[in-house]
Amino acid sequence: MEVSITEVGPGDIDIDPAVLCGLMGIDPDDIPEPYSGIIQRELDEIKNYPNIKGGFKISGNIDILSPKGVLSYEGVEFGAGKQVVDNLSNSEMAALYICTAGEEVSRRSKELMGQGNLLEGYVTDLVGSLLVEGAMDILHEKLRNEMESKGLRVTNRYSPGYCNWNVDEQHKLFSFFPEGFCGVRLSESALMNPIKSVSGVIGIGKEVKFNKYICHACSSVNCIYRNIKHAV
Amino acid sequence: MEELLKQIAHCVEFGKINQASPYPPDLKGKDGADELTKKALDQGATAEEILTNALIVGMGKVGVKFRENKVFVPQVLMSAKAMSAAMAHLKPLFASGAAKRKGTFIIGTVQGDLHDIGKNLVSMMVEGNGYEVIDLGVDVNADTFLTEAEKYPHAVIGLSALLTTTMVNMENIVNALKEKNPETKVCIGGAPVTQDFCNKINADLYSPDPQGLVEYLDKLAS
Ligand code: B12
Ligand code: SF4
């Protein structure tokens, strides 16, 4: 199957100010000035970020090699590690994805910081992270609905760089997409530009399970996915 | 004067920039770091006195609270802003040589990496603790670090990275700097960096937070 692109309207992503406050370490029920004004302003600013988009490349030509911790995708072997591969077990297809909040949000954050508006710049940076995760939630949900109509289920999403899956393997992932897909480019050092971008894989099949990440044994104590949400 | 310096330290610690700034609520309407610093200079305090006995005191407290998770990034940024309002009065005095800082710190996000929030936080904390900071930005290669290190031979260098794939570029930079001048101290940090990695590439310090770096710099400076 060819790659598909979904554009996400900025208005479609619902960022909960309480989540933003949580990331900032402030009590959402009692937000002091200047925080509340800045949060409101930066959430209003979201309408000016036109390039939030992402897409999938879905293939049924896959093999899950559990003991080796390998996902073979159209003949390319991803060393995704045992934890990820176990969570993909029973997949009949897999969807690779790339998703971005676009560069506007990072540009604004940089500009604000450069002008000495540090807090504003920081809030904008957080908004960018929440936007790309929010966009990916929408894409994930869309995929789930499509697959459900065919009697299939989807797994959680798994990204290179998490759960012992080497971040460098993004090069293999990007090789399945056209150059500059959704405006995202991968550098030699496996950094996506725009910064507020994510990549990864979702398993699809009749018998797959939606497992939360199994984080208790992992040393990445600050990981954003640690034991949270993702029970879509 | 002592009281005035204490007030400035308090403003920096709690992020009270100037009279107009509404934060923190309990200091609303009162003078902030901006006005109080000017007042202290007018009353004859030296730039060094203000730096040492007010700004560094305030920023040091924020650094410790940040390390202990008692405050978060936004409060650090408010403090940094208050500090920079005070520094605006002091910078001309440092630039003219009329006053001195504790030392120079050169920082950059390493080649191949574009992340800057963490690096910026480190810069602010180090500056607030009395050092001149030269921020080389992001995607900085070994040559640029070498050139700057040559300009400031006693400067300590800081390297930041946020991915394991860009972190590896720290090794070349450390090697290049040490080859040119084995005395150069290089500190490293960022989410994927560990003490093991620091040992492996012969860097001089790894710290998970800016405060550890400040303490190291202070030890070198003393
Ligand atoms: C928010 C976030 C995102 C957001 C935004 C990215 C961004 N940076 O803007 C999104 C969702 C887009 C994202 C995407 C990805 N992410 Co991410 N992300 C994070 C997260 C949770 C926070 C990063 C952050 O902003 N921290 C806040 C700043 C202030 O902290 P900091 O930069 O670390 O700096 C502090 C210290 O490290 C220290 N410090 C920093 N520099 C220096 C220098 C010196 C000298 C010293 C002493 C100290 C020091 O002081 C600072 C203040 O305390 C981290 C995990 C974490 N908790 O760090 C993962 C993390 C950085 N991401 C990771 C990964 C893998 C990715 C992706 C590759 C995943 C994917 N395949 O999609 C992509 C890559 C994106 C890209 N552009 O290439 C990994 C990187 C490790 C690795 N394996 O390489 C991390 C570490 C998570 C993990 N697995 O543990 N990510
Ligand atoms: S904390 Fe959980 S999601 Fe994050 S890297 Fe570890 S196991 Fe994976």
What's the number of domains chain A is made of? 1
pLDDT, one tens digit per residue, over B120-171 is: 999 999 999 999 999 999 999 999 999 999 999 999 999 999 999 999 999 9
Contact B114 A193 (CB under 8 A): yes
For A45, A59, A65, the CA distances from A177, given in Å and listed in that order, are 30, 12, 23
Contact A113 B120 (CB under 8 A): yes
Contact A72, A140 (CB under 8 A): no
- Where residue A162 sits, what CATH number does that domain have? 3.40.109.40
Least confident segment among A2-11, A46-55, B169-178:
A2-11
CA–CA dist A24, A34 (Å, integer): 13
Residue B43 DSSP symbol: T
Question: What's the gap in Å between the CA of A168 and the closest CA on chain B?
Answer: 7
pLDDT band at A179 (very low <50, low <70, confident <90, very high): very high
- Nearest residue of chain A to residue B80 (CA atoms): A118
Closest CA to B165 of A167, A169, A194: A167
Question: For all residues of chain A together, what is the average pLDDT?
Answer: 90
Tell me, yes or no, if the two domains B2-95 and B104-221 fold the same way.
no
Query: Could you give the percent of chain A with pLDDT greater than 70?
Result: 91
Atom of ligand 1 nearest to the CA of B187: 45
Contact B187, B215 (CB under 8 A): no
Q: Beta strand B103-109 with A197-205: parallel, antiparallel or unpaired?
A: unpaired
What pLDDT does residue A164 have? 87
Give the mean pLDDT of A41-48: 94
pLDDT of residue A217 exceeding 70, the answer is no
pLDDT, one tens digit per residue, over A63-101 is: 999 999 999 999 999 999 998 999 999 999 999 999 999
For A48, A170, B71, B110, the CA distances from B200, given in Å and listed in that order, are 45, 26, 33, 17
Residue A220: domain span: 4-231
Residue to probe by mutation, ligand 2, list A157, A213, A222, A227, most atoms within 8 Å of CB: A213
Which regions in chain B score pLDDT beneath 50? Answer: none
Tokens 């990916």 identify what position?
A136
What pLDDT does residue A7 have? 84
What pLDDT does residue A117 have? 92
CATH 3.40.50.300 fits B104-221, yes or no: no
- Nearest residue of chain B to residue A123 (CA atoms): B74
Where exactly are the structural domains of chain B? 2-95, 104-221
What pLDDT does residue A97 have? 97
ipTM, 2 dp? 0.91
What pLDDT does residue A22 have? 86
Element containing residue A99 per DSSP (H, E): strand A93-100
CA–CA dist B218, A113 (Å, integer): 27
Task: Decide: residue B43, CB within 10 A, 0-12 exposed, 13-18 middle, 19+ buried.
Answer: exposed
What pLDDT does residue B208 have? 93
Least confident segment among A12-26, A144-158, B79-93, B104-118:
A12-26
Give the mean pLDDT of A178-203: 96
Give the mean pLDDT of A202-211: 91
Contact A24 B25 (CB under 8 A): no
Q: Which fold has domain B2-95?
A: 1.10.1240
Contact B71 A25 (CB under 8 A): yes
User: Does B220 contact chain A (CB < 8 Å)?
Assistant: no
A215 CA to centre of ligand 2 in angstroms: 5
What pLDDT does residue A216 have? 67
